[in-house]
Amino acid sequence: MPDLADLMDELKRSDLAREAMDLLETALARRSTEERGAFWRAVDLYYFSRKAPPEPGVARSSAEPPAIG
């Protein structure tokens, strides 16, 4: 994950975020490597798709919910 270093820097600044990440890591530890990978890929798709502007000429899917904001 290319932005993991940035995420870790942010977590160091926030005790609440670190506690939340610890809970998430504990829950994910019960899952298989494949399931954990799928979870993080889904997180990437969800968050990064909303930050990046759509490419010119690419129509949005009707199944994709509209961006809020």
For helices 33-51 and 15-29, angle between their N-to-C axes, nearest 10 degrees:
140
**Domain residue limits at 20:** 4-48
Assess if residue 53 is contained within a domain.
no
Note whether residue 29 is domain-resident: yes
- In this predicted model, what pLDDT tens digit does every residue of 11-62 receive, in sequence order? 677 888 888 889 999 999 999 999 999 999 998 888 777 766 666 665 555 4
pLDDT given at position 62: 47
Cβ proximity of 21 and 29 under 8 Å: no
Residue 60 structure tokens:
């949005």
pLDDT of the residue at 60: 55
Has residue 17 been placed in a domain? Answer: yes
- In this predicted structure, what is the pLDDT of residue 25? 93
- Residue 47 has a pLDDT of 79
Total-model pTM:
0.49
Note whether 18 and 12 are within 8 A (CB).
yes
